[in-house]
Structure 1
Amino acid sequence: MHAIHDIYQAEEYIRELTKHKPEIGIILGSGLGDLADDLEEAVIIPYEDIPYFSKSDAQGHANQLVIGKLKGKTIVAMKGRYHYYEGYTLDEVTFPIRVMKALGIETLIVTNACGAVNTSFSPGDLMLITDHINLVGVNPLIGKNNEELGPRFPDVSQVYNKELRNMSKEIAKEQGITLREGVYGWWSGPVYETPAEIRMIRTLGGDAIGMSTVPETTVAVHAGLKVLGISCLTNMACGILDQPLSHQEVIEVAGQAKSKFIRFITEVVQKI
């Protein structure tokens, strides 16, 4: 469990660099970081400068915390995340969530680039996460609980806030965006799933599969934050099409979808 001292030390460092008090946090996944470039009065802080923050080596992750204004709302955006598959502990992976909570956010928007398991979905679609499946078998809340951070046994019957999801669907309809809805499965990586594993995930009820998001949202719910999850479906999962998977494809398709993604998330922020 995260140490209160470490959280406050990181929070204090960030507060010394900006006058903004964020109300919404955003985690920007692979290839989706350009949204942070739209923030006004932005303060950009490299992860490596923030106490106890880590740094991702994954392509498409800029490793910057950006704090600024978007549509009149004060935002703290993670321009890239770091992952369990990189060898970080789940305490390290989820530490920024605790710091954003300490900075004052009440809502967390989590985004990712991931593979479509549901064969009715297509690369380039956006998917509203309705629920998730933890396929990794570990949990960031394992260990001694700190009641200052959240309850020992948090309720996860509604990880992804229903009101925020309904609002997002209305925005997508207004913008003419096809917004899929589905269950996100967390896979540890770094290898992609085998065709047999994808068939298993589909049988279990998964609609998309990726290597992030679930640890962060679990800690966010523990911290009492409202969570909205949006996936950019960048490829069909292994075995659906007769072609190999590559991270380059993930980055390229996320780049192609980024204009509608940015337009959609910007409107979501304005209406929160």
Structure 2
Amino acid sequence: MSRDGFRAEEIDTSRPHPARIYDYLLGGKDNYDIDREAGDALAAAAPEVRVSVRANRAFLRRAVKYVVGEGVRQILDIGTGLPTSPNVHEAAAEVAPDVRVAYIDNDPIVSAHGNALLGGSGANTVVLADLRDPQSILSDPSVREVIDFGRPVALLLVAVVHFLAEADKPEQIVATLRDALPAGSFLVLSHATGDLAERSEAQAVYRQATASMNLRSRAEVLRFFDGFELVEPGLTQVPFWRPDGTPPEGSHEIGFYGGVART
């Protein structure tokens, strides 16, 4: 698949990639100079960004443990990013050892590192695909080997929908994925926002990347949960979604909303 610089058959090192920028901001090593330059520019424009990505990652872990605790044993993680321990299957295994995870990303580096991490485990898979073509994800044979859409699934869209422009019809994409989920499934979604601070300079960093950053208001993010029932505490800034400790300093400035909802 290819569009707007995303190519499944080659690694594009001419422009920053969101997964590699995110990896750099988390302190990872699977990135290039161009990604590090973009990450530094992003931190200069939005000083809270490193705290924000860590809080978003912590939200992911808490949400995964929640849905697995509710009985879900299948996870479809779209826009997974580069492996960061504990990864989704590791967090899930802390609650139940039999959880199966299909990881989806459009960066070949993510695919390569993810497969190396999994070591050929049959319980999990990494698929190179693009959120902007949801039907190809739902019909992918490797996804179908891991995910049985006849049983409840947790769909993870964590820090990825904000890379969809309005022209991509993001609400329609999420609805397509939602309609493939059986009763008892969950949506875990987080999304960057400009509600808390003016972040046009941060958005500008992504204009040079392989995907734009599209900040949305809380009301706009809520629309992605149409057809689902939000669980308490609803859509909140990510540090305040069922925290398992005292939220980190500066949490009220973190520009990510997150929520979990069930079908």
TM (normalized to structure 1)? Answer: 0.30
